């Protein structure tokens, strides 16, 4: 089946479910018979539930504008710094950084329990942890730590490494980190020089027939590298999450090539015409078309949506094409991916899986009620979008008035608010930390008797109490919820968000901190004695602690009207583009 036909089915789905619900049910059941149990297709319940949703809409959301989030909320638009909590975050950063510096200075990855570092590649490191963390030091005002990190970059950082590095990760962590540090340093030329060198080594990834970048790049040989088993396959979000970095680099260096390579990707994606603005997670770099694959807001999907809004904000709302793409995508999410929990009625996002016929041809979509922690960026992003892309005036109030937002702005604000509450609910575990992935109940039948009866969600793969925890059960120091809390607090001044963030931080202190120094992954969030995995992800320093620090700071620290954060929490200043965009 052609892509176009598959895509037609997404919008067709709603109608089909209205008109031919029974026929479709029979078809789906027949299809499901042949499937292996290990494939996590959604049960019949999801489909039935899905139909109910298409009929009713997300009851309570449409028109359910929540200007002031809660009754009795302590709203304080002129809030001040919370010194005590903010300083506790700085202490945590120092605790983590000093352990890394002591045991692993210069290494890409840090393993706090073994007290050692490892490199991403045998060919040598690329400053992954140092560069990712350095702007947090600048923002926190840690001058000594900053100086040592900066000198390490000046003396020892090199990208002359003969191996394949992930195009996306290298861009968001290392290029983004260097650019942000350059700006915050007051233009230390060493940092821009390194950024430019890295940018030039990344550009060859874009040498494909369509212009979509290959997933990896050999930094020394300056060649793009494809996946071994499908050379031209690229992840949509990875291709569409390089733009803030490359465009800012173009702005700083006046080298238009960075700009056009990044912008071309957006043009290709738009021309491939995502149905309802929802993009399958894989594309073909030869044809520039979608490969039939899942639609989701978690891994390989998430930051595509994030960067639609942020590209609009980065150039100070001058490129309307991104606002349009963003609005279409958010409407697609609203129409096709949002659901309400079975019991507590928490709003959540589901995924769409490709359903195939007996010949392996994609014929339809199945709804999977699975939400990654990664999706928790979306609540804050929707609220930010509501007061910018969805605003009727330039500067909306804190919190916004109903009259200041368009209808879609109000819709997105309310959905964003609800999604943050849901993400906070996933932190309601024995440790107070959220699992990596939750599944939502769609029917009473599938309920695991050992689970809490009142919850909307559960962690999959935990049926055997003696078995190892499933992959889903871990908390790996991820930032997305505190990221949303930070944005929500800045836009509302509602102290609930500071309290939420403080609660999460305390759980991290209690369960993820290790005595040897640093913080690690907790493998089972529902076990206070959980085993740990010996890794401190660099995004803990770059994102989690930075967003927590900003949550407790004054609004004048990295103000949202002047900065956009890249997807690794590196703040980049907005600017008026001196390169004209050729894309519309």
Ligand X SMILES: *[C@@H]1O[C@H](CO)[C@@H](O)[C@H](O)[C@H]1NC(C)=O
* Residue ranges in contact with ligand X by CB under 6 A: 151-152, 155-156, 316, 394-395, 561, 574-576
Question: Catalytic residue among 103, 436, 472, 543, which?
Answer: 436
Taking a C-beta distance cutoff of 8 angstroms, is the pair 518, 95 a contact? yes
114: left (phi over 0), alpha (psi -120 to 50) or beta: alpha
Question: Catalytic residue among 108, 480, 483, 494, which?
Answer: 480
CB of 87 to ligand X, least distance (A): 27
The total of other beta-carbon atoms located within 10 Å of residue 171's CB is 29
CB of 79 to ligand X, least distance (A): 18
Q: Is 421 an active-site residue?
A: no
Looking at the Cβ atoms of 395 and 452, the one nearer to ligand X is 395
Q: Is 169 an active-site residue?
A: yes
Q: Is 263 an active-site residue?
A: no
CA distance 384 to 305: 13
CB of 144 to ligand X, least distance (A): 13
Q: Between vectors from CA 353 to CA 470 and to CA 55, what angle results, nearest 5°?
A: 115
CB of 367 to ligand X, least distance (A): 41
The 3-state DSSP class for residue 572 equals strand
Which residue reads 């049960």 in tokens? Answer: 43
Looking at the Cβ atoms of 394 and 445, the one nearer to ligand X is 394
Does the annotation flag 567 for ligand binding? yes
CB of 152 to ligand X, least distance (A): 4
* Residue 491: alpha-carbon gap to chain centroid: 19
CA distance 507 to 432: 5
CA distance 310 to 567: 9
The 3-state DSSP class for residue 156 equals helix
Terminal-residue alpha carbon distance, the chain? 30
289: left (phi over 0), alpha (psi -120 to 50) or beta: beta
Q: Is 436 an active-site residue?
A: yes
499-513 burial, b at 16+ Cβ within 10 Å, e below that, comes to ebbbebbebbeebbe
CA distance 417 to 405: 15
Question: Catalytic residue among 108, 169, 327, 425, which?
Answer: 169
Residues tagged active-site:
169, 302, 436, 480
Annotated binding residues, written as ranges, equal 567
């Amino acid at each position: 089946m052609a892509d176009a036909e598959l895509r037609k089915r997404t919008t067709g789905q709603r109608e089909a479910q209205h008109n031919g619900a029974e026929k479709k049910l029979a078809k789906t059941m027949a299809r499901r018979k042949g499937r292996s149990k290990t494939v996590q297709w959604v049960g019949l319940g999801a489909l039935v539930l899905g139909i109910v949703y298409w009929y009713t809409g997300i009851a309570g959301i449409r028109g359910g504008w929540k200007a002031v989030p809660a009754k009795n909320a302590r709203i304080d638009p002129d809030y001040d710094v919370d010194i005590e909590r903010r300083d506790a975050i700085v202490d945590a950063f120092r605790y983590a950084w000093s352990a890394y510096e002591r045991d692993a200075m210069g290494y890409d990855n840090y393993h706090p329990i073994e007290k050692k570092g490892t490199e991403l590649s045998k060919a040598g490191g690329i400053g992954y942890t140092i560069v990712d963390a350095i702007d947090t030091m600048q923002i926190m005002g840690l001058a000594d730590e900053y100086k040592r990190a900066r000198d390490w970059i000046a003396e020892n950082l090199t990208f002359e490494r003969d191996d394949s590095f992930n195009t996306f990760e290298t861009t968001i962590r290392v290029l983004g980190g260097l650019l942000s540090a350059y700006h915050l340093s007051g233009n230390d030329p060493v940092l821009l020089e390194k950024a430019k060198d890295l940018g030039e080594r990344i550009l060859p990834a874009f040498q494909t027939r369509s212009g979509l970048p290959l997933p990896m790049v050999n930094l020394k040989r300056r060649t793009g590298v494809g996946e071994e088993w499908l050379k031209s396959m690229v992840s949509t979000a990875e291709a569409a999450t390089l733009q803030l970095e490359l465009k800012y680099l173009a702005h700083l260096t006046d080298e238009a090539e960075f700009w056009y390579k990044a912008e071309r990707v957006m043009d290709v994606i738009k021309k491939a015409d995502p149905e309802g603005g929802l993009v399958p997670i894989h594309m073909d770099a030869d044809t520039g078309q979608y490969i039939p694959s899942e639609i989701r807001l978690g891994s390989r999907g998430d930051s595509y949506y994030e960067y639609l809004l942020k590209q609009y904000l980065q150039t100070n709302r001058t490129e309307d094409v991104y606002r349009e793409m963003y609005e279409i995508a958010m409407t697609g999410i609203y129409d096709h991916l949002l659901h309400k929990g079975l019991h507590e009625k928490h709003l959540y996002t589901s995924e769409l899986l490709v359903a195939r016929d007996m010949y392996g041809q994609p014929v339809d979509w199945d709804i999977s009620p699975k939400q990654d922690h990664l999706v928790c960026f979306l609540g804050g992003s929707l609220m930010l979008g509501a007061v910018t892309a969805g605003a009727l005036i330039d500067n909306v109030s804190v919190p916004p008035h109903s009259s200041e937002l368009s209808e879609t702005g109000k819709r997105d604000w309310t959905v964003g608010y609800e999604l943050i509450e849901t993400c906070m609910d996933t932190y309601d575990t024995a440790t107070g930390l959220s699992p990596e992935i939750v599944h939502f109940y769609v029917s009473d039948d599938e309920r695991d008797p050992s689970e809490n009866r009142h919850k909307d969600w559960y962690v999959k793969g935990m049926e055997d109490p003696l078995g190892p925890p499933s992959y889903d059960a871990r908390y790996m120091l991820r930032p997305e919820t505190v990221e949303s809390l930070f944005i929500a607090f800045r836009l509302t001044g509602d102290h609930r968000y500071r309290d939420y963030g403080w609660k999460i931080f305390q759980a991290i202190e209690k369960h993820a901190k290790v005595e040897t120094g640093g913080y690690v992954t907790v493998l089972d969030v529902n076990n206070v004695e959980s085993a740990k995995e010996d890794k401190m992800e660099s995004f803990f320093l770059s994102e989690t602690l930075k967003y927590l620090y900003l949550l407790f700071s004054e609004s004048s620290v990295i103000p949202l009207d002047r900065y956009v954060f890249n997807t690794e929490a590196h703040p980049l200043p907005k600017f008026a583009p001196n390169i004209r965009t050729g894309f519309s």
